[in-house]
């Protein structure tokens, strides 16, 4: 498809879809492009676009494709499931088998509920936390994204940050750095965010002070154990341990959003890698093997409050969809082999070493970001201080070289088993040709 035809396709999309895309970051305006990419197909580490380009892909559908595009085992599992039926609205054996895989892999999870999206999982986990504690307030970190549910759209990370192109935060803060609960998007009622407390990531003093002030009404602390929606920002030593202690003292539940880190930085997620266990865990992306699937799980006494076992209502017609559970089982069963993670760690380490001369690289397992700065990035404010214009120029340069990075400085690169040494070396060479 020629460029003019691609433009015609975009014009068609603009007439039918707000902004021409079904998720804002796909618009690519933050990296200086007027049109999105329209993808025709993917195989291994590569994408083919509708205008005929072949791109080396480091986005990998924003993380789910740990074994690459059109992974044969996953595709065959989905095909076999589809032959038996695409949706039943009833329980299946595959749901039970996937739940067994999750409980076996994730250290803190005793029971789990399958849903269709990370937003749904995070929203439901916090409803459950509020019911269990009989409290209303939620504490989150600035730049932490937990889906687009109303109460969580306060300083909500990469999507909004990309949309605003580094616009200063409008959220008033106290001296401790604690932000008042105000909506970060039009359409969110003020009351919906009023019980959301926002503190900087990796700031022990701020979170301790917030818990002291609000502890009696605090239902949960929700956090990405490795922040990945401001770019990759690993937890500093003692940070996750302190969150665990503060929850224990205050009676709040600790909720880890492992939609990105789950099954990626380790089979058991960041909680396995860093040795801190939450009360509830939110999972997605790799869990569905590239199909729409997410989950939340945790301690049995908390999870048993969910209907029909308990009074907390949550439901979904497509929850545990047969195609998605087939894909998830195909992926999770292969991840029981430790050699997969050894291999991913080696590949990510090679990429990290090669990119280090060109900016600040931060990594946790097979998850990393090249920040356009020479300073450490330890929170959202630091991430917003990076040179987004230079990142946009790098993105455009690499796209011309046939290498597709995330179209935002606030996102991560997602190495997969499909990225071999050839792909890593090609990427490093393309970045080097851009210059320091």
pLDDT confidence of residue 176: 46
Report the SS3 class of residue 42. Answer: strand
The rounded distance, in Å, linking the Cα atoms of 259 and 126 is 15
Among residues 195, 203, 257, 279, which one is catalytic?
A: 257
Model confidence pLDDT, tens digit, residues 323-337:
999 999 999 999 999
pLDDT of 120 strictly over 70: yes
For 226-279, what is each residue's pLDDT tens digit? 999 999 999 999 999 999 999 999 999 999 999 999 999 999 999 999 999 999
Rounded Cα–Cα distance for residues 184 and 153 (Å): 5
Contact present, 52 and 6 (Cβ < 8 Å): no
- Per the DSSP assignment, residues forming a β-bridge with 42 are 47
> Distance between CA atoms of 273 and 345, rounded to whole angstroms?
12
Delineate the domains of the chain, giving CATH numbers in brackets: 72-334 (3.40.640.10)
Tokens 């926002």, located at residue: 198
3-state secondary structure of 421: helix
Q: Is 57 known to be catalytic? A: no
Residue 237 burial (CB count, 10 A): 8
Give the confidence band of 171 by pLDDT, cuts at 50, 70, 90: very low
**Residues with Cβ within 8 Å of residue 328, at least 6 apart in sequence:** 98, 101, 287, 288, 289, 291, 293
Question: When comparing pLDDT for 92 and 164, which is higher?
Answer: 92
> For 90, what's the count of Cα atoms within 13 Å in the CB-facing half-sphere?
2
Residue 140 appears among annotated catalytic residues = no
Contact of 36 with 20, CB cutoff 8 Å = yes
Residues 243, 222: Cα–Cα separation, whole Å = 10
- In angstroms, the CA 131 to CA 305 distance is 8
The pair of three-digit structure tokens given for residue 78, joined into one six-digit string: 């989905």
Q: How far apart are CA 352 and CA 364, in angstroms?
A: 10
What separation in angstroms does the CA of 215 have from each of 123, 174, 239?
Answer: 21, 17, 18
Which H or E run includes 353? Answer: helix 338-355
**Greatest pairwise CA separation for the chain in angstroms:** 62
Q: Is the predicted pLDDT of residue 224 greater than 90, yes or no?
A: yes
Of 46, 57, 145, 391, which is the active-site residue?
145
Structure tokens at 54: 């072949």
The DSSP secondary-structure symbol of 233 reads: B
Among residues of the chain, what percentage have pLDDT more than 90? 84
159: its two tokens: 């999507």
- The yes-or-no answer on residue 285 being catalytic is yes
Query: Quick one: pLDDT at residue 154?
Result: 65
In the chain, what percentage of residues exceed pLDDT 70? Answer: 91
Residue 94 and residue 81: Cα distance in Å, rounded? 10
Contact yes or no for 32/393 (Cβ under 8 A) = yes
Q: What is the pLDDT of residue 178?
A: 58
- In 270-420 the beta strands, taken as DSSP E runs, fall at 280-283, 294-298, 360-363, 368-371, 403-404
Euclidean distance between CA atoms 342 and 346, whole angstroms: 6
What does R_g of the chain's alpha carbons equal in angstroms?
21
Integer CA distances (angstroms), 334 to 140, 295, 328, 392, in order: 33, 19, 10, 36
Q: How does residue 71 score in pLDDT terms, banded at 50, 70 and 90?
A: very high
pLDDT, tens digit (0-9, with 9 covering 90-100), for 186-222: 777 777 777 899 999 999 999 999 999 998 899 999 9
- For the entire predicted model, the pTM comes to 0.92
Q: Residues 23-60: pLDDT tens digits?
A: 988 988 889 998 999 999 999 999 999 999 999 999 99
Kind of pairing between the strands at 111-115 and 294-298:
antiparallel
**Active-site residue among 285, 382, 391, 404?**
285
CB 414 within 8 A of CB 63: yes
Indicate the average pLDDT of the chain. 91
Nearest to 79 by CA among 297, 330, 265: 330
Confidence bin at 181 (pLDDT 50/70/90): low
């Amino acid at each position: 498809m020629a460029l003019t035809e691609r433009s015609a396709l975009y014009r068609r999309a603009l007439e039918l879809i707000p902004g021409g895309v079904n998720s804002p970051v796909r618009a690519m305006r933050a990296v200086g492009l007027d049109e999105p990419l329209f993808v025709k197909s993917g195989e291994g580490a590569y994408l083919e676009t509708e205008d005929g380009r072949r791109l080396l892909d480091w986005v990998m559908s924003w993380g789910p494709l740990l074994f690459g595009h059109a992974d044969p085992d996953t595709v065959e599992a989905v095909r076999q499931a589809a032959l038996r039926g695409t949706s039943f609205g009833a329980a299946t054996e595959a749901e039970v088998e996937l739940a067994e895989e999750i409980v076996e892999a994730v250290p803190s999870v005793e029971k789990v509920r399958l849903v269709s999206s990370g937003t749904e999982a995070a929203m439901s986990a916090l409803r459950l936390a509020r019911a269990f504690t009989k409290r209303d307030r939620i504490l989150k970190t600035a730049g932490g994204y937990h889906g687009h549910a109303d109460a969580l759209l306060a300083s909500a990370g990469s999507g909004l940050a990309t949309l605003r192109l580094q616009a200063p935060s409008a959220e008033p803060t106290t001296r401790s750095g604690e932000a008042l609960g105000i909506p970060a998007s039009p359409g969110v009622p003020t009351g919906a965010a009023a019980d959301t407390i926002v503190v900087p990531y990796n700031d022990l003093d701020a979170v301790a002070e917030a818990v002291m002030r609000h502890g009696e009404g605090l239902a949960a602390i929700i956090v990405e154990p490795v922040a990945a929606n401001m770019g990759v920002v690993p937890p500093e030593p003692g940070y996750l341990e302190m969150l665990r202690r503060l929850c224990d003292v205050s009676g709040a539940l600790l909720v880890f959003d492992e939609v990105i880190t789950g099954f990626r930085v380790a089979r058991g997620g960041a909680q396995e890698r860093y040795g801190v266990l939450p009360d509830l865990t939110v999972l997605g992306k790799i869990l569905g093997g590239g199909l729409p699937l997410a989950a939340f799980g945790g301690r049995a006494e908390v999870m048993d409050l969910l209907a029909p076992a308990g009074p907390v209502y949550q439901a979904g017609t497509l929850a545990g969809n047969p195609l998605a559970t087939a894909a998830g089982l195909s992926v999770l069963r292969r991840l029981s082999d430790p050699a997969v993670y050894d291999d991913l760690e080696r590949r990510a380490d090679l990429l990290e070493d090669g990119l280090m001369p060109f900016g600040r690289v931060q990594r946790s397992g097979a998850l990393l970001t090249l920040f356009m700065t020479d300073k450490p990035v330890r929170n959202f404010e630091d991430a917003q201080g990076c040179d987004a214009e230079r990142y946009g120029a790098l993105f455009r340069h690499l796209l011309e070289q046939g290498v597709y990075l995330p179209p935002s400085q606030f996102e991560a690169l997602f190495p997969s088993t499909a990225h071999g040494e050839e792909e890593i070396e090609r990427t490093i060479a393309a970045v080097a040709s851009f210059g320091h």
